Amino acid sequence: MKQLLSIFLAILCLQSCYSQNQPSKKTSMDQSKNNTHPNYSHTDSSKLVLTNSEWKNLLSPEVYAIAREKGTERPFTSPFETSKKLGTYHCAACGNPLFKSNAKFDSGCGWPSFFEPITKSSILYLPDNTLGMKRIEVECGRCKAHLGHVFEDGPQPTGLRYCINGVVLDFEEK
């Protein structure tokens, strides 16, 4: 019985950044995902409210699954996780600037990790108690796309680790 309980707890711990709702494809870092729709902008900070049907028509199935259905990509599949390029990471759904590359670090968790967003309004924070865990979900401050979660085990100066799905990121090289 103790072994079974230990296995169950280990599975819950491993799922702290991972859920079963995941896209099946890897994305290429050089691939432009969504910057062709009329609402995509790196400069417009106005709130973007669209129906799920509208989002489904604008986004790739992989981005839609994460951004609108709160999925999670498989760990260690995003080329952004190990990228050292300098630039800005944007929301793949709307183009909102989210993170600078100088706030990125290698956390070893399997997803791109950052210690702070570009601005306080870039990110929204929501409680997430799914699977019996207490976590903080992070969403895009402009379009409310699900990005990932934030944990309090990151490096200084913030002590935070924003664990972000690479599928919902676009990158603009400096």
Backbone φ, ψ for residue 32 (5° rounding): -85, 125
Nearest to 13 by CA among 127, 109, 148, 114: 109
Cα radius of gyration (the chain): 16
Burial group, residue 60, by CB count within 10 angstroms (0-12, 13-18, 19+): middle
DSSP H helices in 15-135 = 52-58, 61-67
> What are the catalytic residues?
163
